[in-house]
Amino acid sequence: MRLFKYSIALLCLSFLTGCAVGNQYDYQQADVSLPIKGTDKVSLGVIDNRSYVINGDKSANFIGLQRGGFGNPFEVTTSSGKPLTEDMSDVLERSLVQSGFQVNKLYFSSPDTSMVANVIKNNGQQKNIILTVSEWKTDVMMNIALIYDLELQVKDQEGREIASASARSTGKEKISGAGFQGQNSRVAVSAFETKVSRLFNNPAIVKALKD
């Protein structure tokens, strides 16, 4: 009987480990609800400021961890294969266009503030929407935990800040029980929609984009 129970336990652990390998989440499916409408030309850029991406420990398409039966971590990446910030930029561009804005996308090779300002000066518009991602990853085993640190800014054509809003977790924020890959992806995408929509709903951000 003990041998049978041990065999079942090993089988379950092997199954969990198998389900943990090679997971991908589709952030391109996100639909961020915006509280504003407009017809202005705006620039949009998303900056990857995650320390482990900057130092090369993780690839830019890394989005979290899926743990196996023993808690051993396996990397989760974007379904598109693109950097996470490119997926986010595509989603926000789509939302802004649906809200009536004309969008010019900005690309940043590093999060350095002087470089960001130069890109805006050379390629930006009168209003420039910048999302800085200092942390965004899920950690999944029995539950889905989210760790995030986001800052949304509206900058003028000289790269000066007009308005800002930020959101960050204190440790691991449990957002759901865990399931299979598709369900976990939908939970992570929904969390992104919620967190970023709240940033755009900040009164200072709304005012900056309306003025």
Q: How far apart are the first and last CA of the chain?
A: 73
pLDDT tens for 143-166 read 999 999 999 999 999 999 999 999
Least confident of 2-6, 145-149, 197-201: 2-6
d(CA 205, CA 197): 11
Nearest alpha carbon to residue 153 among 196, 103, 98:
196
Helices (H), the chain: 2-20, 51-54, 84-98, 113-123, 181-200, 203-210
> What's the structural domain count of the chain?
1
Q: Name the CA radius of gyration of the chain, rounded.
A: 19
Cβ-count burial 48-79 (b if 16+ within 10 Å, e if not)? bbbeebeeeebebbbbbbbbbbeeeebbbbbb
Position 118 scores a pLDDT of 97
Nearest alpha carbon to residue 27 among 1, 68, 49, 60:
60
Higher pLDDT, 96 or 9: 96
d(CA 23, CA 117): 36
Position 3 scores a pLDDT of 52
pLDDT band at 69 (very low <50, low <70, confident <90, very high): confident
- Does pLDDT of 110 surpass 70? yes
d(CA 191, CA 85): 15
d(CA 31, CA 90): 10
Position 15 scores a pLDDT of 41
Cβ atoms of 174 and 15 within 8 Å: the answer is no
Position 70 scores a pLDDT of 87
Position 16 scores a pLDDT of 44
Q: Which domain holds residue 54?
A: 2-210
Is 175 buried (19+), middle (13-18) or exposed (0-12) by CB count in 10 A? Answer: middle
What's the CATH number where 157 sits? 3.40.50.10610
Higher pLDDT, 2 or 66: 66
pLDDT band at 123 (very low <50, low <70, confident <90, very high): very high
Position 9 scores a pLDDT of 38
A 10 A CB-CB count for 85 gives 25
Two structure tokens written together for 20: 């943990």
pLDDT band at 17 (very low <50, low <70, confident <90, very high): very low
Q: What is the DSSP letter of 96?
A: H
